[in-house]
Amino acid sequence: MVRHTQDEYLRAIWKLSFPLGEFMAARPGPKPTAPARIAELLDVSRASVGEMLGRLEQAGLVSRGERKEALLTPAGRIQAMSAVRRHRIAESFVVDMLGYDAAYAHDRASRMAEALDDDAIERLFQRLGAPERCPHGFPTDPDHELRENPTLVPAADAAEDEALVLVRVDARACELRERLERASITLQDPVRVTCEGDVHQLSGPSGQRIDLAPADLEQLAVRREGVPAVPAEAACWASTVAAGEARDDA
């Protein structure tokens, strides 16, 4: 059985806590994450999740609700953001410098990121040219991700033949990413979703198409035509956190 690290659990909780459109929901802030969803995402048993959540709670990184839901504490949120950013930088490295396919960057980056300390990660980030996005289209800066989330929707929510821009592909959707690459449909391409009978199709800018299952549509994040893109800020989340800590110490 694969044993996941604390950072992998924190990344999973982050992903489930901030779905697309989070800040347009009636309840602002992060969503409580059920242990069952963490177990499904990491492909581990509920018992393994319960054990790790207990450790994270003791460390002050998560709090638990009445139904044992997991919610990141302020300290947990900072550590989760660090883990997310570290992983996305590692993904960019294995694709841009080692030449691996983006479809399989997630797992390779998970193994590599744990071996690098903070200084090495920052050196790597600068050597890569300070990439704004990982190979799956997610902003390297988690703050940028949160600002962008309300401007995106899953492709499943798009209207028939609506003008869209493909922004993100779920990092674990390896087979889907391969099909997109074979069809030469890339991130930031204009796309449309159509339906013929029970078959959905995603068409790219040159008319190329791939068939999609309903589950595939949930793995693609798109921006509707007319919705402005959210620019990255010059200061990354780490600078913001450091500035806040300096004010607290003053």
pLDDT tens digits along 123-140: 999 999 999 999 999 999
Degrees, nearest 5: CA angle 83-86-178: 105
pLDDT, average across residues 201-214: 93
Instruction: Tell me: pLDDT of 25 over 80.
Output: no
114 with 201, same domain: the answer is no
160 with 132, same domain: the answer is no
Q: Using CA atoms, how far apart are residues 197 and 187, in angstroms rounded to an integer?
A: 27
Please indicate whether residue 218 or residue 24 has the higher confidence score (pLDDT). Answer: 218
| Radius of gyration for the chain, computed over Cα atoms and rounded to the nearest angstrom | 19
183 with 206, same domain: the answer is yes
Three-state DSSP at 166 gives strand
Strand partners, 191: 164
φ, ψ at 203 (rounded to 5°): -110, 140
Degrees, nearest 5: CA angle 6-108-170: 80
Whole-model pTM: value is 0.87
**In-domain check, residue 250:** no
135 with 159, same domain: the answer is no
209 with 137, same domain: the answer is no
pLDDT, average across residues 181-202: 92
pLDDT confidence of 3, banded at 50, 70, 90?
low
Instruction: Tell me: pLDDT of 238 over 90.
Output: no
Q: What is the DSSP letter of 135?
A: T
72 with 182, same domain: the answer is no
pLDDT at residue 131, rounded to an integer: 94
Q: Using CA atoms, how far apart are residues 133 and 148, in angstroms rounded to an integer?
A: 12
Domain count, the chain: 2
pLDDT at residue 121, rounded to an integer: 92
State pLDDT tens for residues 72-123: 999 999 999 999 999 999 999 999 999 988 888 888 888 888 888 889 999 9
17 with 41, same domain: the answer is yes
CB 140 within 8 A of CB 88: yes
- Percent residues over pLDDT 90 in the chain: 62
36 with 107, same domain: the answer is yes
Instruction: Tell me: pLDDT of 145 over 50.
Output: yes
**In-domain check, residue 240:** no
- The count of other CB atoms within 10 Å of the CB of residue 117 is 9
Instruction: Tell me: pLDDT of 23 over 50.
Output: no
- Percent residues over pLDDT 70 in the chain: 88
CB 184 within 8 A of CB 206: yes
pLDDT at residue 234, rounded to an integer: 63
Cβ-count burial of 73 within 10 angstroms (0-12 exposed, 13-18 middle, 19+ buried)?
Answer: middle
